[in-house]
Every structure is written in structure tokens, then in C-alpha cells.
Amino acid sequence: MASGFFALLDDIAALMDDVVVMSKISTKKTAGILGDDLAVNAEKATGFVASRELPVLWAITKGSALNKLIILPIAFLLSAFIPIAVTIALVLGGLYLAYEGAEKIYHYFFHKNQNNEYRVYVKKNLTQEEQKAAEKKKIKSAIFTDFILSVEIVIIALGTVLEREILFQVLVVTIVCVIATVGVYGIVALIVRMDDFGYRLVKLGDEKGFLNHLGNLLIRALPIVIKSLGVIGTIALILVAGGIFVHHIEFIHHFVVQINLPSILIEFIVGLIVGLFTLLLVNFIKTTKSKLYS
């Protein structure tokens, strides 16, 4: 009896070790989306008075958790009964990620001088009602974006364990989702409070000395950090999309294996080409639609 109990514990320990290993692999594969999620939400949570930044971020965090609670059961049902649907969703998600990455690059070069929405809110003297409306708008936008990114996080994580039993899939993907939610929004909370922490250091340093310099550094670093996250997230989006196409579309895989280049460069090139093509197609459809209805 005792030997059977210890054998059961050993099996559970082995399963959890395997889950942890696959969770690390899945988290690495979703890193590009997490980087973009981090950049998007850091931008969404800034631009308001200091007392409202964390409440806005908390509302977005709750929305993100609800998104994943909706997405996870659907993903597991598809995996159990229609596994091919997961692969199809993965490729379609790759198209979206490639498009988003290419669109960000296009926007940078051709619409560089456009102000970000949160900057407009900062410059205006909003009434209390307008402030609430602005908050609701940003929260709604952030939660919608998070929903799309959460779908991709779940699908990519599920794709790494698609051949395993359903319990293993549930454990791994759930761990990845918890890491994604707690990790991303925890880091965002630290980022959006950087400037406020900097102001406190400046006051403590009496506007001179080391604390003053450190505080000013944190204040100046906030917009740079957010912009850097945006650039890193864009590159990572294209890499993740390219990896999806290379590993899940057979003719692309057979074509690129003949190219003597580093895999990361191949995946970036494939993701960028597909993204640019998708961007051109979407813009063509939009232009044609506007002409037809004008």
C-alpha cells in the first residue's frame, strides 16, 4: 500500500517536472506576444494623473484574466475534439501578428508625427466626466487588444503540447497564462510608476546629490522604456509569426531549409514578407471598400 502511494507521488513529481519544462518552452515561444502586450499596456496605463494609473491598470488586469477564462475552455475543447482547428487558428493568428508587426513599421515611417492617444489626454485639461470617459475608452481598447493577444498566447502555448494528453495541455497552458497575466501586468505596474518614484527621489534628495540624479534619470527613462518596448515587441511579433509559418506550413518549411542562413533571420524575413503582403492586401480592401461606398 505504502509502495503504491510513493509510486503515485513519484509519477506526480515526474509529471510536474515535465510540465515545468514545457511551460518554460511555451513561455519562450510566446515571448514576442508578451513583449507586445507589455508595450501596449504600459502605454495604455500612462497619461493620467498618478492616482488613476494603477486603478486603470487593475481594471485592464481583471479584463485580461476574464479574457483568458473565456479563451482557455474553448481552446481545450478544440484540442480535444478538433485538433486541426488549433493549427489553423495558429496560422491565422500568425497572419495577424505578421500584419500587426508590418503595420507598426509602416506607421513608423509614414505616420511618425502622429500623436499617441494618451499624449492627447495629457495635454488637454479634462473635466472629471471627460477623464472617466477617457479611462473607460482606454480600458476597453486595452482589454480588446489583450483578448486578441491572449488568443495567440493560448494557441501558441497549446501548439507546443498539442501531441500530449489533455491534462498535460491544461496544466502547461494555464501556467503560461498565469505567468502572462501576473508577469506582464506586474512589470507594467512598475513601469508606469517609474516617474512617480523618480519624483519622490528628487524630493528626498532635496534637488541635489545622487538621489536627485537617480530620480531625474527614472523620470526621463519612462518614455524611452515605453518606446523601446514597442520596438522590441514589433520585432518579436514578426519573429513569432515567421516561426509559425516556417514550422507549420509545409511548403515554406521545405523551401527555407535549403537556405543557408540563421533560423532567427529566416523567421524574421518570412514574417516580414508575409506581414507586408497582408498589409498591402488589407489596405487594398479598405481602399476598394471606401471607393465603393463613397
| Integer Cα distance of 279 and 282 in angstroms | 5
Task: Supply the pTM of this predicted model.
Answer: 0.70
User: Look-up: residue for cell 538621489?
Assistant: 211
Give helix 263-293 / helix 83-110 axis angle, nearest 10°. Answer: 80
**Torsion angles phi and psi, residue 47, rounded to 5:** 105, -5
pLDDT tens for 144-196 read 877 877 887 888 788 777 777 777 788 888 888 888 888 888 888 888 778 77
**C-beta neighbour count of 15 within 10 angstroms:** 14
Q: Where does residue 47 fall: left (phi above 0), alpha (psi -120 to 50 degrees), or beta otherwise? A: left
pLDDT tens for 99-141 read 988 998 988 888 665 544 444 444 456 677 777 777 788 788 7
pLDDT tens for 39-86 read 666 666 666 666 677 788 888 888 888 988 998 898 888 888 888 887
Whole-number pLDDT of residue 225: 81
